[in-house]
Amino acid sequence: MLDQKTIEIVKSTVPVLEQHGEAITTKFYQLMFGNHPELLNIFNHANQKQGRQQRALASAVYAAAAYIDNLEAILPVVKQIAHKHRSLGIKPEHYPIVGKHLLLAIKDVLGDAATDEIIDAWAKAYGVIADAFIGVEAEMYAEAKNQKGGWEDFRRFIVDKKIAESDVITSFYLKPVDHKPIADFRPGQYISIKLEIEGEKFTHIRQYSLSDAPGKDYYRISVKREAGMLNPDGKVSNYLHDSVEEGEILQISAPAGDFVLDTNKETPVVLLSGGVGLTPMMSMLKTVVDVQPERKVTFIHAAQNGNVHALRDEVEELAQLENVTSYFFYDSPTEEDRENNRFDVEGYVTRQWLEEKVPVGEADFYFCGPVPFMKAINGFLLDLGVNEDRIHFEFFGPKAALV
Ligand SMILES: Cc1cc2nc3c(=O)[nH]c(=O)nc-3n(C[C@H](O)[C@H](O)[C@H](O)COP(=O)(O)OP(=O)(O)OC[C@H]3O[C@@H](n4cnc5c(N)ncnc54)[C@H](O)[C@@H]3O)c2cc1C
Ligand code: HEM
């Protein structure tokens, strides 16, 4: 428990740190990676370069500090981050390293304004926040390990099948090298892959949502090749596409994540995806079909055109069922798409279209896609009066603000 004085100092200095948030965390990473280059095995270097991880960590620390005397209130946020940490293999011994360098960075950026009293208070507060994360993560590690077919860190899987699903998306079917059972998962969850690329100094870890229904003897992921345009090409996605063939071994952590379909509910469910954001939606769609065959489900997918539209046959087959409806939106259909009636609507999903076509008043909505797509969908749903407890979404990168 923190004393009242410490709580007051921390709460009153949150705005100051927020103001310098990005400068402090940029400094923090510089110092930490300087002293602990081994941590570059865990952090995503592209996120670092784009400043995305800086913002995510900064805002989480300040949000937690603002609730330092009532961390229970932000438990759902702690859990969401803890899922990611557990999937990456973050351990208790990592926390003091982050704490030490965060304090050094605060001192460095704030200079004399960071008095000993302030630094002491933040050291104590960080300890309390870190303990909250460590506690939640310990439970998650135990759960990952003790479940049937479970394991704690990374386990070796063989690429059993590699299937091109579109010009840019390829599926990998992964089976455990030890031939033992694999942990079940909830539709919407992801795994992390840890890659060792020959000639590279550090390992690379990325998350991929499971794109098939639970209950199989394999995990399927479907990966989009991230072309860099003016920037370097995406490291892991291109390596998977170009260099990982059937028979290759990958290291995988057990399924994680709190973006999951609630199968205790019987409300209609609307699954919306843009581009490769369709992967968790596929798993959810197949799950509804398997375990809730009476539940109404609408699958809405937006793609540029038929060339980059993955897994369409699987969706079309399921859409024959009475409880399933699907709509494909193409914003730049090709001539071939037009000739073969490959899409339902030309253009983007709009508020008016949603109002007319889906049961906005009662459905649960799940969506994933590029951030502008997610912002638009979230805005339409809020505008249409959909309560936030019926809105669920996943980011394929560090969390960003949608409103
Ligand atoms: C929960 C979750 C689930 C996910 N599920 C899926 C999924 O099902 N399928 C899927 O395909 N992806 C999924 N992702 C995304 C995936 O984890 C990777 O982020 C994605 O594959 C890109 O990784 P990469 O290594 O190829 O690109 P990175 O090397 O991480 O690069 C990311 C982007 O940054 C750009 N970049 C690289 N270096 C720089 C630089 N120096 N300056 C500026 N820009 C740069 C790259 O061009 C690229 O566009 C998911 C992510 C999360 C968090
Ligand atoms: C109390 C301390 C911490 C807080 C508040 C925190 C917060 C966060 C947040 C908000 C994210 C983004 C989550 C998401 O987008 O879903 C994140 C991701 C991550 N965290 Fe932490 N974190 C803490 C401690 C640590 C520690 C100790 C480590 C290991 C040294 C660590 C390593 C990572 C990594 C590697 C990622 C993914 C980053 C990426 O891929 O770029 N974190 N953390």
pLDDT classification of 167: cutoffs 50, 70, 90? very high
Would you call 95 a catalytic residue per the annotation? Answer: yes
User: Average pLDDT, stretch 336-344?
Assistant: 97
User: What is residue 342's predicted lDDT score, i.e. its pLDDT?
Assistant: 96
User: What is residue 17's predicted lDDT score, i.e. its pLDDT?
Assistant: 87
User: What is residue 51's predicted lDDT score, i.e. its pLDDT?
Assistant: 61
212/214 Cα distance (integer angstroms):
7
Task: Give the burial class of 187: count Cβ atoms within 10 A of its Cβ; 0-12 exposed, 13-18 middle, 19 or more buried.
Answer: buried
Question: Whose CA is closest to atom 2 on ligand 2?
Answer: 130
- Over its C-alpha atoms, the chain yields an Rg (Å, rounded) of 22
pLDDT classification of 389: cutoffs 50, 70, 90? very high
User: Average pLDDT, stretch 304-309?
Assistant: 98
Cα-to-centroid distance, 81 and ligand 2 (Å): 7
Q: What is the dihedral of CA 61, 66, 71, 72, to 10 degrees?
A: -120
Nearest to 161 by CA among 230, 119, 218: 218
The answer to which of 48-57, 154-163, 326-335 has the lowest mean pLDDT is 48-57
373/369 Cα distance (integer angstroms):
6
Which tens digit of pLDDT belongs to each residue from 105-148? 999 999 998 999 999 999 999 999 999 999 999 999 999 999 99
Provide the residue type at 42 as one letter. I
User: What is residue 53's predicted lDDT score, i.e. its pLDDT?
Assistant: 59
Cα-to-centroid distance, 60 and ligand 2 (Å): 9
Strands of 281-374 (E only): list them: 297-303, 324-330, 345-346, 364-368
Instruction: Give the global pTM.
Output: 0.96
Cα-to-centroid distance, 9 and ligand 1 (Å): 39
87/253 Cα distance (integer angstroms):
6
pLDDT classification of 314: cutoffs 50, 70, 90? very high
Q: Are strands 190-195 and 204-209 parallel, antiparallel or unpaired?
A: antiparallel
Ligand 2: which residues within 6 Å by Cβ? Answer: 39, 42-44, 47, 53, 56-57, 60-61, 64, 81, 84-85, 88, 90, 94-95, 98, 129-130, 133, 398-399
Q: Which helix (H) or strand (E) holds 249?
A: strand 249-253
Q: Which of 39, 81, 94, 95 to mutate to test the pocket of ligand 2 (most atoms within 8 A of CB)?
A: 81
User: Average pLDDT, stretch 270-284?
Assistant: 98
pLDDT classification of 22: cutoffs 50, 70, 90? confident
Nearest-atom number in ligand 1 for the CA of 223 is 11
What's the farthest any 2 CA atoms get from each other in the chain? 72
Which tens digit of pLDDT belongs to each residue from 30-86? 999 999 999 999 998 777 776 665 567 767 888 888 899 898 998 998 999 999 999
Give the number of the ligand closest to the Cα of residue 368. Answer: 1
Q: Which of 43, 235, 237, 284 to mutate to test the pocket of ligand 1 (most atoms within 8 A of CB)?
A: 237
Is the pLDDT at 319 greater than 60, yes or no?
A: yes
297/261 Cα distance (integer angstroms):
12
User: Average pLDDT, stretch 197-222?
Assistant: 96
3-state secondary structure of 222: strand
Nearest-atom number in ligand 2 for the CA of 52 is 41
219 touches ligand 1 (CB under 6 Å): no
User: What is residue 21's predicted lDDT score, i.e. its pLDDT?
Assistant: 81
224 touches ligand 1 (CB under 6 Å): yes
224/246 Cα distance (integer angstroms):
17
User: What is residue 7's predicted lDDT score, i.e. its pLDDT?
Assistant: 94
User: What is residue 62's predicted lDDT score, i.e. its pLDDT?
Assistant: 82
**Bigger pLDDT: 44 or 302?**
302
3-state secondary structure of 152: coil
Q: What would the two tokens of residue 131 be?
A: 């303990």
* Active-site residue, selected from the candidate residues 38, 62, 126, 137: 137
**Across the chain, what does the average pLDDT equal?**
94
Is the pLDDT at 397 greater than 70, yes or no?
A: yes
User: Average pLDDT, stretch 222-243?
Assistant: 94
User: What is residue 396's predicted lDDT score, i.e. its pLDDT?
Assistant: 93
